[in-house]
Chain A
Amino acid sequence: MANVLVVAEFSEGKLKKTTHSAVTFAQSVAKGTGGSFSILAIGAGAKASSGELAGFGAAKVFIADHASVANYVCERFAPTVVATAKKGFDVVVAAASAYGKDLIPRVAAALGAGYANDISSVKVEGAKLTYRRPMFAGNAYGFCEVTTPIQAVSVRQSEFAPAQPSGSATPVEDIALAPPSAGADRVEFVSFDQVKSERPELAEAGVVVSGGRALKERFKEVLDPLADALGAAVGASRAACDAGYAPSDLQVGQTGKVVAPKLYFAIGISGAIQHLAGMKGSKVIVAINKDAEAPIFQVADYGLVADLFQAVPELVTQIRKAKSA
Chain B
Amino acid sequence: MKILVPLKRVADPDNANKIKIPAGGAKIDTSGLEWKPNPFDEYAVEAALRLTENGATPKQRGGEAIVVTFGPKETETTLRSALATGADRAIRVDAQDDALDGHLLARALKTLVLREKPDVVLMGKQAVDGDSNQVGQMLAEMLGWPMATFAATIKEEEGALLVGREVDGGVLTLRVKLPAVVTVDLRIVAPTSVYSKQTAPTFKYNDGVRFAALPAIMSAKKKPLVEVKLGDLAADTNLSIKYLSFEPPPARKAGVKVKSVPELVEKLVNEAKVL
Beyond A140-B248, A141-B246, A280-B252, whether A183 also contacts B146 by CB under 8 A is yes
Whether the Cβ atoms of B131 and A102 lie closer than 8 Å is no
C-alpha spacing A156/B169, complex, angstroms: 17
Number of A-B residue pairs at CB separation under 8 A: 280
Q: Does B57 contact A (CB under 8 A)?
A: no
Stretch at the interface among B9-17, B63-71, B75-83, B217-225: B9-17
- Complex CA gap A172/B190 in Å reads 47
Are A75 and B146 touching (Cβ within 8 A)? yes
**Pairwise interchain contact A285-B185, C-beta atoms closer than 8 A:** no
Question: Quick one: which of A83-112 are within 8 Å of B by CB?
Answer: 97-99, 101-102, 105-110
CB atoms of B264 and A110 under 8 A apart: no
**B176 to chain A: which residues have CB within 8 Å?**
186-188
**Does B216 interact with chain A (Cβ within 8 Å)?**
no
Expressed in whole angstroms, the Cα–Cα distance for A283 and B271 within the complex equals 13
Given contacts A109-B137, A130-B244, contact A136 B274 (CB under 8 A): no
B86 within 8 A of A: no
Which residue in chain B gives the minimum CB-CB distance to A107? B141
A114 on interface, CB distance cutoff 8 Å: yes
Q: Is the CB of B141 within 8 A of A109?
A: yes
> Complex formed: what's the CA distance from A286 to B263 in Å?
12
Chain B residue at smallest Cβ distance from A287: B255
**Taking the complex as formed, is B132 at the interface, i.e. its CB lies under 8 A from any CB of chain A?**
yes
Q: Quick check: B146 and A137 within 8 Å, CB to CB?
A: no
Interface residues of B in 220-275 (CB under 8 A from A): 238-249, 252, 255-262, 264-265, 267-269, 272, 274-275
Which residues of B in the span 172-194 have a Cβ within 8 Å of any Cβ on A?
172-177, 180, 185-187, 190
Q: Does A65 contact B (CB under 8 A)?
A: no
A301 is an interface residue with CB less than 8 A from chain B:
yes
**Contact B16–A187 (Cβ < 8 Å):** no
The answer to whether A98 touches B166, judged by C-beta atoms less than 8 angstroms apart, is yes
Residues of chain A with a CB closer than 8 A to B136's CB: 105
Q: B111 on the interface (CB 8 Å rule)?
A: no
Q: Considering the complex, which residues of chain B in the window 132-183 have a beta carbon less than 8 Å from any beta carbon of chain A? A: 132-134, 136-150, 152, 162, 165-177, 180
With an 8 A cutoff between CB atoms, is B130 at the interface? yes
Instruction: Please name all residues of chain B whose beta carbon is closer than 8 Å to the beta carbon of A192 when the two chains form the complex.
Output: 170-173
Decide if B14 touches A242 in the complex (CB within 8 Å).
no
> What is the bound-complex CA distance between A144 and B190, given in angstroms?
36
Would you call A169 an interface residue if the criterion is a C-beta within 8 Å of the partner chain's C-beta atoms? no
When the two chains form the complex, which single residue of B19, B21, B245, B264 contacts A315, counting CB atoms closer than 8 Å? B264
A106 touches B141 (CB 8 A): yes
Residues of B within 8 A of A136 (CB): 11, 16, 19, 28, 128-129, 131
CB interface residues, A 112-150, toward B, < 8 Å:
113-118, 130, 133-148
| C-alpha spacing A183/B142, complex, angstroms | 11
- B36 on the interface (CB 8 Å rule)? no
| Assembly CA distance A114 to B21 (angstroms) | 25
Contact of A188 among B16, B40, B174 (CB under 8 A): B174
Distance in Å: Cβ of B120 to nearest Cβ of chain A:
12
Instruction: Give the CA-CA distance A165 to B140 in the complex, in Å.
Output: 37
Residue of A nearest to B244 (CB): A143
Known: A106-B147, A187-B148, A194-B170. A255 touches B126 (CB 8 A): yes
Residues of chain B within 8 A of A69, CB atoms compared:
none
Which of A116, A142, A299, A314 contacts B261, CB < 8 Å? A314
Query: Is B37 positioned at the interface, with any CB of A under 8 Å from its CB?
Result: no
Say whether A303 contacts B241, CB under 8 Å.
no
Residues of B within 8 A of A300 (CB): 255
Task: Evaluate contact between A147 and B13: CB separation under 8 angstroms.
Answer: no
Known contacts A283-B274, A302-B272; A249/B174 CB under 8 A: no
Interface string of B40-75 (1 = CB under 8 A from A): 100000000000000000000000000000000000
Using A99-B168, A135-B131, A140-B19 as known contacts, list a sample of 14 further A-B pairs with CB atoms less than 8 Å apart, ordered by residue number in A: A73-B174, A75-B147, A78-B141, A98-B165, A102-B167, A105-B134, A109-B142, A115-B134, A183-B145, A193-B171, A248-B187, A251-B186, A285-B252, A322-B265
- Chain B residues with a Cβ under 8 A of chain A: 11, 13-17, 19, 21, 28, 40, 101-103, 106, 125-126, 128-134, 136-150, 152, 162, 165-177, 180, 185-187, 190, 207, 238-249, 252, 255-262, 264-265, 267-269, 272, 274-275
Enumerate the 9 nearest inter-chain pairs by beta-carbon distance, A residue then B residue, closest first: A114-B240, A182-B144, A105-B137, A187-B146, A109-B141, A105-B134, A109-B138, A186-B177, A98-B167
**7 CB < 8 A contacts A-B:** A98-B150, A136-B19, A136-B131, A190-B173, A255-B131, A284-B268, A304-B259
